[in-house]
Chains A and B, each alone.
Chain A
């Protein structure tokens, strides 16, 4: 962050402080900034057209389509017949739906609990300027270069009880029924998801940590704070918005998690790893019940949007707020 930005932030910071005590929204500040750009916005509005059209065609139109289809018994091939709320009633009376929903939340929570601390620590570690850290950062980054399908196929081969890792390393302890026992299979899924995405979140945290001004740490060490205290009282609070961003990506990603699980377990054994997104695919494209699958799709959209909004709320309504107040 450059010096000039810090100065302006300081200015708006004090202004905002005054308004917050008065209970008003920072509308004045927004209007100010719009006025100063008003000549440019007219032309800029047009630049939004391609993106808006793409968004309309590939996001809004299908979304409405799915909503309509959720009231039909379409099999993907024949005629589309409306059957009222039948799909919705069947959906909410189906115990396997609650299982899939519960599983989706379980995967979401567990992957978040595992990924966040590890990414935060790795991010803080790799943010240092030492050479060996840069080298390690590159290594940590590797899983991100692989596609989900490739990762799933590789893990499937590694976990094969007869010809996998156990045989290769001569370690019989590794010859478990990894993908055959419900709990183990779920554990494997959560492990592989974390393994795949920790590098990405590490990268986000690394960027976040590098933005924290050195002067904060200098001041803290003069005051006698050790590395652990600096981490908890400076690094973590300063990363508030980074944590929210990373968590939003993790949680919303977990809701729609599909490709890796599809290739790795196909939802099995039984229904042990069949989360909502996979359930939607299997119902729609394997069992040919597009109407029923559309119900799941609508629920996924609502769930994903709801959670994302809730997480944004956690960050406070005041998006323009600075974490560098008083600097």
Chain B
């Protein structure tokens, strides 16, 4: 009598395809994810149907819920020029290291007086630092100078980039190298706060502003 044989199955499953898939997905998400720069303020922007993506060269003014004002300028060269101009204007000295820190930093919001101390802090402490934002009232309008010199610095560095692109034989559009002025306002902030900052821009004859918004689908 022959026994009926039950085919023996190994209890372990071949996991290779699963591992392949898992790593494929990991690689995809790693490449697709954009690393967010640490920002000192959390801002929840309102939504709009606009589909214009945020430009490369920007001067960004952030206004948080409480109306504090923060500034960010893109471009390392431009930031170096900006802080040197501001240092000359406000007679606040910065050493090489502080300038370097400033050039590689992102959004900040403190007075010129606080700035050297702020730059000396380690990055972790800077995140926790409680600031009142950049002063923008009529008696002490530091924001106006930041924007004024920021614009000049960004225009200068844009010009060099433009010349370089020309030398490379491309056909660049000068407007792509000019800084765009972007406001990132918290939806809960009172509009008057934003209006103060907008008035500073308008005083400098910079009337074309952009608001950062999150995307929303357009109704049909």
Answer yes or no: do A and B interact: no
- Chain B residues close to A by CB (< 8 Å): none
